[in-house]
Amino acid sequence: MKPDRFYNTSAWRRKARPQALYDAGYKCQRCHTSLAGGDGNVHHRKPYKQAPALRTEPLNLMALCRSCHDAEHHEMKRGKRGGCDEDGMPTNPNHPWFNLKG
């Protein structure tokens, strides 16, 4: 697969990606593992090719570890990403909502 040019732009490498990692406190937003040392991925909640205007929008970006990033893409392909039931609870049992410590 040919590398995507967008990921080599200054807007991504020097602004959006570092800001997303910083905003997440350098922790995976799914499993909360540390992303210190540059091991994090920044995921587009809504794929930027479908919504180019959101490609650097902070609310569309999610800091994830490699494992959670792979899982997120796998869920997207299988159509199991996102969604809520009629009570507003996530339909995905692995959703971070269920990992909240209270």
CA angle 65, 32, 5 (to 5 degrees): 30
- Indicate the burial class of 21 (C-beta count within 10 angstroms; 0-12, 13-18, 19 or more): buried
More confidently predicted of 5 and 100:
5
Q: Would you say residue 86 has pLDDT above 60?
A: no
Domain boundaries, the chain: 5-99
CA distance 53 to 7: 15
Q: Is 60:45 a contact under the CB 8 Å cutoff?
A: yes
Q: Return the SS3 of 60.
A: helix
pLDDT digits (tens, 9 = 90+) for 15-71: 999 999 999 999 999 999 999 887 789 999 888 888 889 999 999 999 999 988 988
The tokens of 29 are what? 């937003």
Higher pLDDT, 101 or 72: 72
CATH number of 5-99: 3.40.1800
